[in-house]
Amino acid sequence: MKSKTSCFNYAILKKNVVLYWPIWLIYSICMLILLLGQLWTNIHYNIRWGTLTESRHLQIMLDSINPAYCIFVIMVMSVITAMALHSYLFTSKSCNMIHAFPVTRGALYRTNVFTGLLFLIVPIILTFITSLFMCLSYGITCVEYLGIWFVTMTEAAVICYATATFCAMFSGQLFALPVYFIAVNVIGPGVISLFSALLNFLGFGLRVSIDTSNFAWMSPVYFVSNKVCLQGFMENVDREYLCTDLKFFGIGPLSAYLIVAVALFVAAYVIYKKRPLEQAGNLLTVSWLKPVFRWGVGIFGGFAGALFIVGMIESILGTIGKGWILLLAVFVGVIVFFVAQMFMEKKFRVFYKRIWVECGCLCVTVLAVFGVLFVTKSRMENYIPSAEQIEEATVQLSYMCEYEENDVKQVIALHKAILAQKDSFDKLDSLGDHCAGINISYSLKNGRLIERTYIVPSDGEGEEIVAYCLQQESDPVRFTDNFLCASDERIENVKEGEFDLYDKDYNFVRSKKFTPEEIRQILAAAGEDAKEGNLQKYNLASNWLYDDAPKNFACNLAMYEPYDYRKETEVVRRTGNFFRNSYNYLYEESSNCYIYFDFGEDCTHVIDALLDIGAIQSVDELQLYEENESVDDVEVF
């Protein structure tokens, strides 16, 4: 006798395809536009300008393949597909009806999983094949990158759909599924970011910045969207910067995540097998997850809400006490806790004794978490590494002053002086009038980097600290080497510059471009004024910290190194010492030099240099600012 059950049900598959074909169609169109459309556009653009040469084939691939956009579409369609195929689980009527048919839960689950993967992968195959034929028809043979794109997107589709299916199994409401999908993929990095922000708020001068990408393994889709990318390596080819090599990043770890995808499919199947039918319509269908949900929302929602409210209050009233975080975390946490319970029970009357007891335990837990944060921030804000641990230290008020291993005791002494006044300095809310921001960082021998940023008043208790920093920055040798980038190697790279002259009302008068020889003359003159101590007072923090600061001329004097798009070297590739711009082009990291400085009446060497090169005809053309501060802030790169 023929069995009424099987591992796979063709009728359900056919019903899914017939009923939900618009999802398939829309997704296919999106993928075709993102790859095939971009390829067609870039190919015909190059044909129009007669540049469809072999040297531009990689450039066309780089401009056309954008894994980030494709992965985002896959993520969205994975959730929509899971919502559609498992929609019968979210209402009691449809749930009871489907499970009354002579089809096992296993067959239902496997059929829907197969249908979902079919919906997501077939359009990727279609897009790959059509793009492949288009490239070959135009003579573009570097199609191996299309193959890598196909493999990568297929893996991403499996991972995203596995996550969406897993979320669907413990969700009893349709629109709770996308919320769970987002929560599962931000819970790890989100918690790290939240507690980093809390430590920065509570601690004096703390700059806790944890790279959330290091915790991407906690969230598969977060990893896929942040780690998988295509990057191009640029090189100057016949005076044209072209892509000479392409590389996909994240393929290996992404393949490993297929194991996670299989585990999620298995876990979803186990949950589905044990899922009571009467749970349809509930926020959660797994009983032991309900207290986890209440407590998780209460604790993390409480602290996140408290941080948000404190931020709004501070933007209006200025700095407030640190204890407000605790009070608001408890208050918001209790509210969110009961709201979560109302959603789970689908009623407002949830204030019974057991829940109040549980809420009291939640409040105690919030207090304990705050206590741990408070102890942690206290240890961190008072920590100063010993001189033996430090390889290099920097102090930045107006610019970054570097201190080698033998001089780091000066930085430690400055740091201790600031911490000795932390009770009064911690009340300063922003860089207002007569307040300076001092950044101290230590590069330790074990590779760690410790950074602190303090707001210090330039008068009263902080006057000596700010004066010491200004004294260190005013040193002619340090100022010339750092602010003016005066090392021979860096000055050699400075080949472009300009001088913009303004009248007393700051209306543009004229501009002059500098030759490399004129740049050398100006920088040499600036160095002479720095030796005499005249240039520093117009460019250091004293220029905006004190009311009696001297006025500088209304002009713009800037010199810079032309940006050179160079091919990444093998050393750079090996060490990973590169940076990426918004177009995913990789360039060799270089120490670019940009010099901008103000000067005044007593900077005679700079004035004479401008007269010699014809930038100005007389000193009378230079007009002093009417106000006490420059129009532009000083920038040094």
**Strand partners of residue 595:** 559
* Of 40-44, 361-365, 565-569, the least confident: 565-569
| 225-256 per-position pLDDT tens digit | 667 777 777 776 666 667 778 887 777 777 78
Phi and psi at residue 362, to the nearest 5°: -60, -45
Instruction: Say which DSSP state 171 is in.
Output: B
Instruction: Say which DSSP state 621 is in.
Output: G
Instruction: Provide mean pLDDT across the span 517-532.
Output: 91
| Averaged pLDDT of the chain | 82
What local confidence, expressed as pLDDT, does residue 433 receive? 66
d(CA 31, CA 153): 10
pTM over 0.75: no
Q: Give, for 396, the enclosing helix (H) or strand (E).
A: strand 390-396
C-beta atoms surrounding 558 within 10 Å? 16
208, 539 Cβ separation under 8 angstroms: no
Share of the chain above pLDDT 90, in %: 30
* Of 349-358, 396-405, 413-422, 561-570, the least confident: 561-570
What local confidence, expressed as pLDDT, does residue 635 receive? 36
Q: What is the DSSP string of 89-135?
A: GGSHHHHHHHHHSS--HHHHHHHHHHHHHHHHHHHHHHHHHHHHHHH
**Strand partners of residue 439:** 396, 453
Residue 462 has pLDDT above 70, yes or no: yes
| 33-57 per-position pLDDT tens digit | 999 999 999 898 888 877 777 778 8
d(CA 210, CA 197): 10
526, 535 Cβ separation under 8 angstroms: yes
Question: What tokens were used for 270?
Answer: 């186990």
Domain regions of the chain by residue span: 20-187+214-279, 289-381, 387-474, 480-621
* Of 254-258, 360-364, 612-616, the least confident: 254-258
Residue 361 has pLDDT above 80, yes or no: yes
d(CA 66, CA 568): 21
| 77-133 per-position pLDDT tens digit | 999 999 999 888 888 888 888 878 778 888 889 999 999 999 999 999 999 999 999
Confidence of residue 24 (pLDDT cuts 50, 70, 90): confident
What local confidence, expressed as pLDDT, does residue 125 receive? 95
Q: What is the CA radius of gyration of the chain?
A: 32
Residue 557 has pLDDT above 70, yes or no: yes
Instruction: Provide mean pLDDT across the span 536-565.
Output: 80
Which of 269, 273, 297 is CA-nearest to residue 283?
297
| 371-407 per-position pLDDT tens digit | 999 999 889 989 999 999 999 999 999 888 888 878 8
